[in-house]
């Protein structure tokens, strides 16, 4: 197990470098930040050159990258061009997004797995068909349409909740946005769980468990689910990325001042430090989440652990 | 993964020695020996076995054929397959010849007509620009379906080839390709879209397709890698290998037909989600842009006005959802037909 | 139909009531292609300390009938459509689900063919063994593990104390099968059903595992049903044999008598198709044709299309299990043959 963890950690390094460099490269292809700073007004070439030099913009891209990463590891994410520390922006943005994602992820896990197990065990029955049809519908409608319609009916028309999330994102305000954000992933989790359960339900080891005279509940939880959930756990890990991306959309609809909001502002203003900083953090979160999922995977499946 | 076929002895030491060979850790010695072992198994053993091989090959082909024949027999009796296929055929026709169904131009807009309800001139009403929603919905099919089709074809080609090779050859190939997949996987799709698509001025269909392929292939690659590894471990592949089948033969005749099923399924479903993604990108303001006509553009235009004119949101959303649904259901039907375990 | 002969069969055991008595069992599978009649009126009995071998090709209904006895038939598509399964005098088919579950594992246990897939890959061997004690006896987790180690030692797994925490894939085939046997043995059941317990193993290991099973059975005086397609496995350990074909028992006999003097053409064919050293150089005998499709079992005797002795009557009438006697009418205990021409087969 120790070796496995070390191997996974080592594997993370090139991935981290590759991903952040890719983002760095894309952002710096955005355009000339100096021009953006002066909003396209004519700039004294000497001043521009000086600013470029200060911002390391006159160096090759890889040097800029190394410089930037070096700063990041000292906790210095740089300053947005409007003078605000990027870390300050992050302090405002990330808690909101984190809360939203947590709500969505919890809904996705609990509801998705429950629905999937239920319909997998009742394969071919009415419940199963119903779950299949509903999940299909959810998957086929774009999230933002679901979000807008849900917001319109639940918040605007029926006044069950507020249409936009209050400052500081209190948990109860995040239930509707969280559900919207979770909707598509939830549908996938339910379908994946269903397939996996339905496949494993006829497995030899399940038959053995029945032949051992184990109570049905134990057969299902300890034997069937233990195995069926392995692919689901993997999916949940990779799906965190989709949730973080989807948060951009949900935040826009429900007016949450989270990562999506600041990122969008940063992109509009061609504010590279903000964009790269935010995206780097997101990538780290994503990579760590994936690492955790892999470790969990190894805990769940000994064939991986001892491979 | 430990190779079950060669589990050498009863003692625990046996498994430990064995697992050292199977570990793709960055341990140079073990990796090299592993590759050696694998290469030895992969090389064609004896050219004299040719006859035997052909024989075996025919049978193998039969097996593959009967898998597809079985699947076809299954599909023929499945109404979901027929309904979704018909819908898709219809959509493709609309995408190619939208003029067959409407003579109104989607760009002939009259601001004085904006946000009207349904009338004989505008069966679905008009949007806030005064454009005919019916015509725009029909014409929007082209962009959405083009994006969906080509993004899928691109990412399936790239993903299946790279993932398949990684799964088949293992070792260094696998390690490197897996890390590259991870790098692209590390960028959440919508996040990458925001950054990447704002960087590029052009908002043509092909830019969106290119972007979806670039960030979409790793998903297919992972699936392809997994299913090739699974197929590789099947007994009949071991058998074919023992009979001296070469690498390309193994891949094309033995592994491909059996590894391709999950890729087709994921591909059809991905197609649906790409169409949906195109709309989301437009909603975020980084996707297609006018004068292109697409459901995504119409949907994002509808955001401001749909509370007063639900039709502006409803019709493009319905068209898009039906399209996505048709592809997902087709994928599902094909999967059920191809997966004998689920029967 | 065959109740008379089954009653006759069991007279040999009437000194004490048999442990398990299967009477006129019918099982069918409702599939897309039609109704497959997997078991069609099977009768057999096993007493404590006795070994019954059920012999047959795949699709003969030998596994299905034992799954029906265990109560682990996949349903749907499988349905028990008739008969009785008397276990210690109780008809299991009328027992409630929860009571039935408590019997499984505790009073009757099963050893499966492929231990690699029959053991749960993600749980340790110790856990899976200990589960028997924990669910049936309420033993604590810790005590269950101790018992698991004892069991593993009992079935001859070296280093049990260390290996109890390992996973099935870390064991060799033979050792895995020993784990399966240990699991079946855990609660010292009265009956063990072993479904092709050695088929997936090397020949040398086969003998060891078979011996272990036979030893344990003697030691605990259990009834053992041994399901196999391998005549060689049976000879040393079984007391009596039931040969199945297309969902029916076609011949029953004490083991050595069956080998010496088969009374059914199918059994005869099976015996003749075993390779023997003294036959070297000659062609191996093979029964012509294929086992019947269970959806369309031939009318009359199901074996008639493949039988060298088939006559008109074989195509018209299903032969009951005739009591088999010597030519002079002397009784042959425990023998029966479902062949219209058993006399000719046995004596001719």
B123 is a domain residue: no
**DSSP assignment string, A48-66:** HHHHHHHTTTTS-HHHHHH
**DSSP assignment string, B257-310:** HHHHHHHHHHHHHHHHHHHHHHHHHHHTT-S--TTS--HHHHHHHHTTTTTT-H
pLDDT class for C255, splitting at 50, 70, 90? Answer: confident
CB B263 within 8 A of CB B152: no
φ and ψ of C262, to 5 deg: -65, 145
- Please tell me the predicted confidence (pLDDT) of residue B251: 67
- Whether the pLDDT of residue B11 is over 70: the answer is no
B238 is a domain residue: yes
- Whether the pLDDT of residue B153 is over 90: the answer is yes
- Please tell me the predicted confidence (pLDDT) of residue B234: 73
Q: Where are the alpha helices (DSSP H) in B9-78?
A: 12-22, 28-42, 50-76
Helix (H, G, I), strand (E, B) or coil at C231: helix
Could you tell me how many CB contacts below 8 A there are between chain A and chain B? 148
pLDDT in tens, B155-200: 999 998 888 888 888 788 888 888 888 888 777 777 788 777 877 7
Interface with chain A: mutation pick from C87, C116, C122, highest number of A CBs within 10 Å: C122
Model confidence, pTM? 0.76
User: Who among B182, B190, B325 is closest to A246 (CB)?
Assistant: B190
CB B264 within 8 A of CB A127: no
Q: Which fold has domain A98-257?
A: MetI-like fold (1.10.3720)
CB B267 within 8 A of CB B152: yes
- Please tell me the predicted confidence (pLDDT) of residue C29: 87
A245 interface with C at CB cutoff 8 Å: no
- Please tell me the predicted confidence (pLDDT) of residue A111: 93
- Please tell me the predicted confidence (pLDDT) of residue B30: 29
- Please tell me the predicted confidence (pLDDT) of residue A1: 65
CB A246 within 8 A of CB A173: no
- Whether the pLDDT of residue C168 is over 70: the answer is yes
- Whether the pLDDT of residue C138 is over 50: the answer is yes
- Whether the pLDDT of residue B33 is over 80: the answer is no
Mean pLDDT of chain C, nearest integer? 84
Q: What is the mean pLDDT of residues C204-214?
A: 85
Asked whether the beta carbons of residue C173 and residue B9 sit closer than 8 angstroms, the reply is no
Q: What is the mean pLDDT of residues C101-118?
A: 88
Number of domains in chain B: 1
- Whether the pLDDT of residue C2 is over 60: the answer is no
Structure tokens at C314: 């074989």
B37 is a domain residue: no
Asked whether the beta carbons of residue A248 and residue B198 sit closer than 8 angstroms, the reply is no
Helix (H, G, I), strand (E, B) or coil at A159: coil
- Whether the pLDDT of residue B43 is over 60: the answer is no
C21-56: burial string, b at 16+ Cβ within 10 Å, e else: bbbbbbbbbeeeeeebbbbbbbbbbbbbebbbbbbb
- Please tell me the predicted confidence (pLDDT) of residue A30: 57
Identify all chain A residues contacting B279, using CB atoms and an 8 Å cutoff: 142, 144-145
Give the residue numbers spanning the domain of B193. Answer: 72-97+128-342
B40 is a domain residue: no
Identify all chain B residues contacting A244, using CB atoms and an 8 Å cutoff: 188, 191
B105 is a domain residue: no
Sheet holding C34-46, edge to edge: C34-46, C20-31, C78-87, C90-91
CA torsion through residues B168, B170, B172, B178, sign: positive
pLDDT class for C225, splitting at 50, 70, 90? Answer: very high
Which of A108-112, B279-283, C37-41, C159-163 reaches the highest mean pLDDT?
A108-112
pLDDT class for B15, splitting at 50, 70, 90? Answer: very low
User: Who among C70, C104, C119 is closest to A205 (CB)?
Assistant: C119
CA B290, B293, B298: angle at the middle one, nearest 5? 85
Residue with tokens 């029959």: C118
- Whether the pLDDT of residue B101 is over 70: the answer is yes
Show the low-confidence residues of chain A (pLDDT under 70).
1, 29-43, 55, 80-82, 168-169, 304-307
φ and ψ of A16, to 5 deg: -60, -50
- Please tell me the predicted confidence (pLDDT) of residue B65: 56
C37 interface with B at CB cutoff 8 Å: no
- Please tell me the predicted confidence (pLDDT) of residue B115: 64
pLDDT in tens, C26-45: 998 887 778 888 888 898 88
Identify all chain B residues contacting A139, using CB atoms and an 8 Å cutoff: 272-273, 324, 328
Decide if the complex's ipTM is over 0.90.
no
CA torsion through residues A304, A307, B1, B2, sign: negative
User: Domain limits of chain A?
Assistant: 2-73, 98-257
Across-strand partners of C109? C192
CATH of the domain at B170: 1.10.3720.10
Min distance A199 CA to chain C CA atoms (Å): 14
Identify all chain A residues contacting B1, using CB atoms and an 8 Å cutoff: 303, 307
Q: What is the mean pLDDT of residues C17-34?
A: 86
Distance CA B282, CA B275 (A): 11
A129 interface with B at CB cutoff 8 Å: no
User: Who among A148, A286, A303 is closest to B306 (CB)?
Assistant: A148
Residue with tokens 């074989």: C314
C159 interface with B at CB cutoff 8 Å: yes
Interface with chain B: mutation pick from A135, A145, A302, highest number of B CBs within 10 Å: A145
B183 is a domain residue: yes
């Amino acid at each position: 197990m120790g070796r496995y963890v070390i191997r996974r950690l080592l594997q993370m390094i090139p991935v981290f470098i590759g991903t952040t460099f890719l983002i760095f490269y894309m952002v710096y292809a955005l355009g000339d930040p100096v021009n953006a700073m002066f909003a396209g007004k004519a700039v004294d070439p000497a001043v521009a050159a000086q600013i470029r030099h200060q911002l390391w913009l006159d160096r090759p891209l890889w040097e800029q990258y190394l410089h930037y990463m070096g700063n990041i590891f000292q906790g210095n994410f740089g300053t947005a061009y409007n003078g605000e520390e990027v870390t300050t922006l992050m302090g405002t943005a990330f808690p909101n997004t984190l809360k939203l994602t947590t709500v969505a992820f919890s809904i996705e896990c609990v509801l998705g797995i429950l629905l999937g197990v239920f319909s997998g065990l009742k394969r071919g029955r009415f419940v199963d068909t119903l779950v299949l049809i509903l999940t299909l519908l959810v998957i086929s409608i774009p999230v933002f349409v679901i979000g807008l319609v849900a917001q319109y009916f639940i918040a605007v028309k029926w006044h069950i909740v507020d249409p936009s999330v209050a400052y500081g994102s209190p948990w109860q305000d995040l239930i509707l946005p969280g559900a919207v954000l979770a909707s598509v992933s939830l549908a996938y989790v339910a379908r994946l769980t269903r397939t996996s359960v339905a496949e494993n339900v006829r497995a030899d080891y399940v038959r053995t468990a029945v032949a051992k005279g184990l109570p049905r509940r134990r057969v299902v939880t300890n034997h069937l689910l233990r195995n069926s959930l392995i692919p689901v756990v993997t999916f949940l890990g990779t799906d965190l990325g989709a949730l973080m991306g989807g948060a951009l959309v949900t935040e826009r609809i429900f007016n949450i001042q989270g990562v999506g909001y600041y990122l969008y502002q940063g992109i509009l203003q061609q504010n590279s430090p903000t964009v790269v900083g935010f995206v780097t953090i997101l990538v780290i979160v994503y990579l760590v989440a994936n690492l955790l999922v892999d470790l969990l995977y190894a805990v769940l499946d000994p064939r991986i652990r001892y491979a | 993964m430990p190779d079950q076929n060669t589990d050498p002895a009863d003692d625990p030491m046996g498994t430990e020695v064995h697992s050292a060979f199977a570990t793709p850790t960055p341990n140079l010695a073990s990796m090299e020996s592993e590759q050696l072992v694998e290469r030895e198994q992969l090389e064609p053993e004896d050219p004299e076995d040719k006859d035997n091989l052909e024989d075996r090959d025919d049978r193998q082909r039969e097996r593959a054929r009967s898998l597809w024949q079985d699947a076809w027999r299954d599909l023929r009796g499945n109404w979901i397959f027929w309904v979704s296929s018909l819908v898709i055929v219809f959509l493709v026709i609309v995408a190619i010849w939208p003029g067959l169904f409407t003579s109104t131009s989607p760009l002939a807009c009259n601001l004085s007509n904006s946000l009207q309800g349904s009338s004989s001139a505008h069966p679905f009403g008009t949007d806030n620009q005064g454009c005919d929603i019916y015509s725009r919905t029909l014409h929007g099919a082209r962009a959405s379906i083009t994006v969906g089709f080509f993004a899928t074809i691109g990412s399936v080609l790239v993903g299946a080839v790279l993932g398949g090779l990684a799964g088949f050859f293992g070792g260094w190939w696998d390690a490197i390709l897996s890390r590259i997949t991870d790098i692209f996987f590390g960028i959440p799709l919508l996040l990458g879209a925001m950054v990447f698509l704002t960087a590029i001025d052009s908002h043509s269909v092909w830019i969106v397709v290119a972007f979806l392929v670039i960030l979409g292939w790793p998903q297919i690659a992972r699936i392809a890698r997994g299913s090739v590894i699974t197929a590789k471990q099947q007994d009949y592949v071991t058998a074919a290998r023992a009979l001296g089948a070469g690498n390309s033969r193994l891949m094309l005749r033995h592994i491909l037909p059996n590894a391709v099923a999950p890729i087709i399924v994921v591909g059809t479903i991905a197609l649906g989600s790409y169409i949906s993604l195109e709309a989301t990108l437009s909603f975020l303001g980084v996707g297609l842009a006018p004068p292109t006509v697409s459901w995504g553009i119409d949907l994002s235009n509808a955001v401001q006005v749909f509370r007063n004119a639900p039709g502006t949101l409803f019709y493009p959303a319905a068209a898009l959802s039906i399209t996505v649904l048709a592809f997902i259901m087709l994928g599902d039907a094909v999967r059920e037909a191809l997966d004998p375990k689920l029967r | 139909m065959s109740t008379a002969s089954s009653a006759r069969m069991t007279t040999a055991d009437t000194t004490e009531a048999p442990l398990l008595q299967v009477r006129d069992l019918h099982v069918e599978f409702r599939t897309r292609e039609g109704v497959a009649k997997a078991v069609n009126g099977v009768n057999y009995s096993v007493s404590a300390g006795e070994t019954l071998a059920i012999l047959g090709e795949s699709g003969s209904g030998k596994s299905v009938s034992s799954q029906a006895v265990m109560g682990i038939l996949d349903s749907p598509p499988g349905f028990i459509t008739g008969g009785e399964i008397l276990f210690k005098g109780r008809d299991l088919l009328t027992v409630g689900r929860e009571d039935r579950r408590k019997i499984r594992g505790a009073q009757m246990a099963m050893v499966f063919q492929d231990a690699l897939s029959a053991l749960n890959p993600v749980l340790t061997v110790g856990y899976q063994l200990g589960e028997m004690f924990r669910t049936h006896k309420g033993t604590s987790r810790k005590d269950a593990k101790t018992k698991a180690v004892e069991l593993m030692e009992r079935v001859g797994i070296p280093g049990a104390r260390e290996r109890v925490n390992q996973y099935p894939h870390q064991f060799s085939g033979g050792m895995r099968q020993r784990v399966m046997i240990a699991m079946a043995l855990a609660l010292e059941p009265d009956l063990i059903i072993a479904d092709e317990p050695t088929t997936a193993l090397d020949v040398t290991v086969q003998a060891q595992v078979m011996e272990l099973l036979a030893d344990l059975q003697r030691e605990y005086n259990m009834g053992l049903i041994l399901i196999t397609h391998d005549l060689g496995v049976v000879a040393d350990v079984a007391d009596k044999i039931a040969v199945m074909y297309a969902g029916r028992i076609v011949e029953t006999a004490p083991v050595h008598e069956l080998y010496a003097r088969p009374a059914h053409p199918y059994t005869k064919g099976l015996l003749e198709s075993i390779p023997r050293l003294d036959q070297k150089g000659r062609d191996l005998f093979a029964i012509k044709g294929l086992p019947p499709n269970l959806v369309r079992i031939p009318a009359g005797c199901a074996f008639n299309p493949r039988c060298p002795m088939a006559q008109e009557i074989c195509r018209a009438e299903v032969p009951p299990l005739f009591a088999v006697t010597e030519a002079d009418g002397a009784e042959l205990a425990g023998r029966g043959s479902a062949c219209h021409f058993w006399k000719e087969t046995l004596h001719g």
